Amino acid sequence: MATKHRSLVRRAAATGALALAVPVLASCGFNENTNLVYVPAAGTFDRDASVDVAGAVIVSTEGDGEGTFIATFANKYPTDPGTVESIGGDVEAPEFEPIELPPGGAVNLADDDQGVPVEGDFGLGSFVDVEISYSGGQQVTFAVPVVANNGYYAGLDGSVLTEEDEFPTEDLYTPADEVLPEGSEVE
């Protein structure tokens, strides 16, 4: 009888240990990409300062070094207002005026023509290092894509839209028939 009891206790202990070990052994580990915020969007996101930047892009009609900086700024402080003091880096914003952020609030530059005109050495499809300074002395720098004033971003860099034949999509995308295995067909 004691042998049967010990066998049941051992079996229960083994089952319990296995139940506890499965989630640990099946996980991806720590500090893996599954623990990072992922946003599938064209714009750049930065959460390194007291103000979050979401969906940052430069919308350009001609792709000739002139465009409009568009982003959403979200103040993380629920009781203190914040200010975006400057936008610079590899771009200049000659008409920039500080952007006031309400406590715990957000400002979307795509709303009501609030975009910031910028100039620099960039073209459609390129990335530009943009530096943003906030009240309190914080600065962040990140790469921002330059997108056409068309499609999702239509009208954000003026009312004249980028003609689709003005920016060569073959340079931006690889056609499906070039990446499919030989003998496959594109439907």
pLDDT in tens, the chain (187 residues): 566 667 777 887 778 777 776 666 666 666 666 666 666 677 889 888 989 999 999 999 988 999 999 999 999 999 999 999 999 999 999 999 999 999 999 999 999 889 999 999 999 989 999 999 998 889 999 999 999 998 889 999 988 888 876 555 455 545 555 555 555 555 5
Residues 6 or more apart from 76 whose CB is under 8 A from it? 50, 51, 52, 104
CATH number of 44-176: 2.60.40.1890
Burial class (CB within 10 angstroms; exposed 0-12, middle 13-18, buried 19+) of 165: exposed
Q: What is this structure's pTM?
A: 0.71
Q: Which two tokens stand for residue 42?
A: 């064209």
* Nearest alpha-carbon partner for 65 in 119, 116, 117, 128: 119
* Nearest alpha-carbon partner for 105 in 141, 80, 85, 71: 80
